[in-house]
Amino acid sequence: MSMPLINFDEHFADFTSAWAQAHQEDYRTVDAMEEDLPKIYMTFLNTRAGWLGNVTPGSYFTQFEDPKVLVDWMEQYCEEDVPVPDLLLEQITFVGKPCEKRLLRLLENEDAPDEARMIAISLLREMESTLPKMLYINWQLNRNPRDELRDHALESLTEMGEAVVQPILQLFRQANDAGQEALMEVLSHFPGHPQINRLATEMFRRKKTQRALFAGYLARLGAEEALPALLEAAEDPEMSYLTFIEVRNAIETLGGNCPEREFEDDPEYEALWGLDRT
């Protein structure tokens, strides 16, 4: 069922323009009017509109509670490149749990607009839904290093809490390099798991160009068993100054003593400290 795609942004712009004309004596500067925009918006929401059949914008979407209608409507907005009304998204969130399965179905549809899928992730996170947990994890297994949709899902996985740890650990070895890096970012928020510490230490040893990143994860995890690997890396003569700083911070966070190093010939050291010697 096709629903009307009304550009609420355009109508609010028209309302604001008319407001400015009617109240021009009240505002001496543009900034003064901008400060009043929240009040103007609330007036807009509560003013009956002919373009909505004499319904107020604030109550228009509250007439609809069918999850299929609401979620499909949001997708139609994205498909037709019409700005998705915040009021529609607020209604989806208000209806809440009944919309979760429909949002999940949208996420599973690879032909759906990326914008709609990104919005679905945000809405499910706002609902504190764990329904897409396995979908989000499986998305990471064979991913590209740069993928905005899957990165957005990662943030949701982290917010789901400890419930994601065991499923991720079970599938971790099946992920490609980019997937393992993404999943480790999530796992690094959950200290107290020896298996996570071992995996993070292994990745720190293996991915020498990303030592700074994984040193930070090890520090966040409180992985004291990683100290030997960190101390060994700190002695690497090829390590850059900025990476050394991250490794040193991790060592000290975990209770170790980092060896002293000289970096006078390192370009990063020169860039940071060279001006102090001039």
Q: Are residues 272 and 197 in the same domain?
A: yes
Two structure tokens written together for 78: 């994205």
- The number of distinct structural domains making up the chain is 2
What pLDDT, on the 0 to 100 scale, is given for residue 273?
61
What pLDDT, on the 0 to 100 scale, is given for residue 278?
45
Q: Has residue 170 been placed in a domain?
A: no
State the chain's mean pLDDT as an integer. 92
Q: Are residues 119 and 32 in the same domain?
A: yes
* Distance separating the N- and C-terminal Cα atoms of the chain: 71
Q: Has residue 150 been placed in a domain?
A: no
Q: Which residue has the higher pLDDT, 38 or 238?
A: 38
What is the pTM for the complete model shown? 0.88
Residue by residue, DSSP assigns 16-51 as HHHHHHHTGGG-SSHHHHHHTHHHHHHHHHTS-BGG
Q: Are residues 126 and 248 in the same domain?
A: no
Tokens 């989000």 locate to: 136
Q: Has residue 232 been placed in a domain?
A: yes
Condensed to tens digits (0 to 9), the pLDDT of residues 2-55 reads 799 999 999 999 999 999 888 888 877 888 888 889 999 999 999 999 999 999
Query: In 3D, which of 243, 185, 192 has the Cα closest to residue 200?
Result: 185
Cβ pair 90, 62 in contact under 8 A:
no
Across the range 253-265, mean pLDDT stands at: 84
Across the range 223-237, mean pLDDT stands at: 94
Residue 54 exposed, middle or buried by CB count within 10 Å (0-12, 13-18, 19+): exposed
Q: Has residue 20 been placed in a domain?
A: yes
pLDDT band, very low/low/confident/very high, at 269 (cuts 50, 70, 90): low
Q: Which domain holds residue 63?
A: 1-131
